[in-house]
Structure 1
Amino acid sequence: MKTSIILFFTAILLVVSCGGTKSTADALYGPTWELEYISGPRIAFEGLFPEKKPQITFDKASGKVTGTDSCNGYSADYELAENTIVFGDPGPTTMMFCGGSERQFLQMMKKIDGYSVKEGKLNLLVGDVPMMRFKKVNP
């Protein structure tokens, strides 16, 4: 009897604790994410993007991301599976030239193969290495 009561409460605890959790993918949707770190360029981050930082927003229904590369707007398809992500080539973008740093952002997006969301930050990865880190911002 005692064992069955313990099993019953353990099962309830598991159901309650698992029922309220969101998947990592669900954390992508809703906010606009603003770049706060990019790996690779030899120029300081603030020098690359002195006025406006690249942003990305995930649309679950359409399977597209939209945003700015700090200068021009872009959109691209993406595919998620577990903690992997692959971005398609950006679709039509506006054509302003703002110094070239915006292209570094889009080129890095093509290399990304994974992601994680921890402590309110979105990390886009190549292998296990964070290549870009984003924070949530209001659109």
Structure 2
Amino acid sequence: MKKQTLLLFALLSVFLMSCSTNMMGDNSKLYDNGWELEYITGPRITFQGLFPDEKPVISFNKSTNMVTGTTGCNGYNTQYKMNGKMISFEVPAMTTMRYCGDGEAVFTKTMQQITNYRMTTDGKLELLMNDVVMMRFKKGM
């Protein structure tokens, strides 16, 4: 009976670890390409209302620990720190200075609240504040 219980426990552990690995993914996938925002939490304004012309994009550079992209309006870059699945971003520096509505402020404020990330089984990048999904990105072009 002990051997069966031990075997069942071992199989259950392997199963749970494989599910966890698939959800969390390999961080090398972060660097494959840019990521296009498809969801952001917070405002009562619709996603299309926040980003009517262009969706924000983020690209990670492993060698410089920098992210670059657009806020849906202006270009930006900033440092990031990563430790396992924990990640944080510095205040983004804008590379252009157009005003395009509230989307940019929502995006940069949300970015600074991020504490960790995960890769989903369907290939999406989720940026979280603790366990709450704050932003979700799909692979960009």
Specify the TM-score bucket, using the shorter chain as the normaliser.
0.7 to 0.9
Instruction: Number of aligned residue pairs: give it.
Output: 117
Answer yes or no: is 1:134 the counterpart of 2:137. Answer: yes
Contact 2:74 2:94 in 1 (8 A): no
Supply the distance in 2 between the matched residues of 1:89 and 1:71 (Cα, whole angstroms).
17
Paired residue type of 1:62: T
- Runs of 4+ off more than 2 Å: none
Q: Larger Cα Rg: Structure 1 or Structure 2?
A: 1
Match of 1:44 in 2: 46
Supply the distance in 2 between the matched residues of 1:92 and 1:41 (Cα, whole angstroms).
22
Q: 1:76 aligns with which of 75, 78, 82?
A: 78
Q: 1:65 aligns with which of 25, 46, 67?
A: 67
- Paired residues for 1:56-135 under 5 Å: 56-118=58-120, 119-135=122-138
Paired residue type of 2:49: G
- What TM-score do the two structures reach when normalised by structure 1? 0.80
Paired residue type of 1:33: W
- What TM-score do the two structures reach when normalised by structure 2? 0.79
- Paired residues for 1:18-57 under 5 Å: 24-57=26-59
Supply the distance in 1 between the matched residues of 2:55 and 2:92 (Cα, whole angstroms).
17
SS at match of 2:93: coil
Query: Considering only aligned residues, what root-mean-square deviation do their CA atoms show, in Å?
Result: 1.4
Shift of 1:93: 2.6
Query: Is there any run of 5+ residues in structure 2 with no aligned partner, and where?
Result: 1-21
Query: Is there any run of 5+ residues in structure 1 with no aligned partner, and where?
Result: 1-20
